[in-house]
Amino acid sequence: MSRVYDDERLAGAYERGNEMPEGSLRAWVGLIASHVRRPAPRIIEIGSGTGVFSAAMARWIESSEVVAVDASEAMLAEARRHHAHPAVRYLRGEAESVPAAAGVFDLALMSRVIHHLPDRARAARELARVTRAGGRAVIRTTFRERLDAVVYDYWPQLRAGDELRFPGEEEVVADFVSAGFVPEETVSFAQPVTASLAAYHARLIGRPQSKFTRLTDEEFHRGLARLEAAARAEATDRPRPVLERYDVAVFSRP
């Protein structure tokens, strides 16, 4: 697995720098919930990070129970500190060897994780194992062919590395089909992450994403200065929300 999230600094920065407005989080949970087929669903999130999605699903998907699994103790510590919920159980574990019994979950979520997995095919088989017949796997990512994050406007050198790290849609579909899943749909969905470029700049100061570990301090600060200048220019004009778009691939388990 990617060990970068074992870093406590990054875990703390991730928690502070990846918040989103409640309306956006609700919209994401609504999209995920539309793939739940039973009342009182059992849900597993793999690579739950600081627990934002796990806690939100527990809060807004009625009578749900969530098992949140992450390989990083540092991320789990942030999750337990900031996103504890009585219906969420945080567990250390790896996508390639999920600490759960077979056929238990109505829905398995992996959000912004698939590009970290050294053995994606094995992770797909594990999701198939822990999902019950009729259940769904929901993969939230950006497929290589649609990489368009706002960060590339200010750190264009990150794009080449991401093109290597992020799998394309066909590769992911092939792994999930080999694992026994049936593709249901892929949609792209965008939601605001901050109300303005100035707020976006403020959150990126903490280098809150693993991709920034690939930059030297100088490269990071040069991009941050470009972003700050753009935010200042926007402030005199009309601030617009910054959107982040993700692809959501949904698979069913026959």
Stretch that binds ligand SAM, among 33-41, 105-113, 183-191, 214-222 (CB under 6 A): 105-113
User: Residue 12 or 47: which CB sits closer to ligand SAM?
Assistant: 47
- 71 scored as a contact of ligand SAM (CB under 6 A): yes
Which of 78, 94, 126, 228 binds ligand SAM (CB under 6 A)? It is 94
Nearer to ligand SAM, 212 or 220 (CB): 212
Least distance between ligand SAM and beta carbon 232 (Å): 29
b/e burial code for range 158-172 (CB count within 10 A of at least 16 → b): beeebeebbbebeeb
Please name which of 118, 162, 119 lies closest in space to residue 141, comparing C-alpha atoms. 162
Within 30-69, which residues bind ligand SAM (CB under 6 A)?
Answer: 46-49, 52-53
The two structure tokens encoding residue 243: 């959107």
What is the C-alpha to C-alpha distance for residues 237 and 220, in angstroms, rounded to an integer?
26
Which of 67, 117, 248, 250 is the binder for ligand SAM (CB under 6 A)?
117
Query: Using the rule CB under 6 A, is 135 a contact of ligand SAM?
Result: no
Going by the DSSP 8-state scheme, the letter that residue 6 receives in this structure is G
Q: Do residues 130 and 100 make contact, with C-beta atoms less than 8 angstroms apart?
A: yes
Strands (E) across 42-130 are located at 42-46, 65-70, 88-92, 105-111
Q: For residue 178, what is the enclosing H or E element?
A: helix 169-178
Residue list 6-25, contact with ligand SAM (CB under 6 A): 18
Is 95 a binder of ligand SAM (CB under 6 A)?
Answer: yes
Report the Cα 114 to chain-centroid distance in Å.
Answer: 9
Instruction: Give the binding site for ligand SAM (CB under 6 A).
Output: 1-2, 5, 18, 46-49, 52-53, 70-72, 75, 94-96, 111-113, 116-117
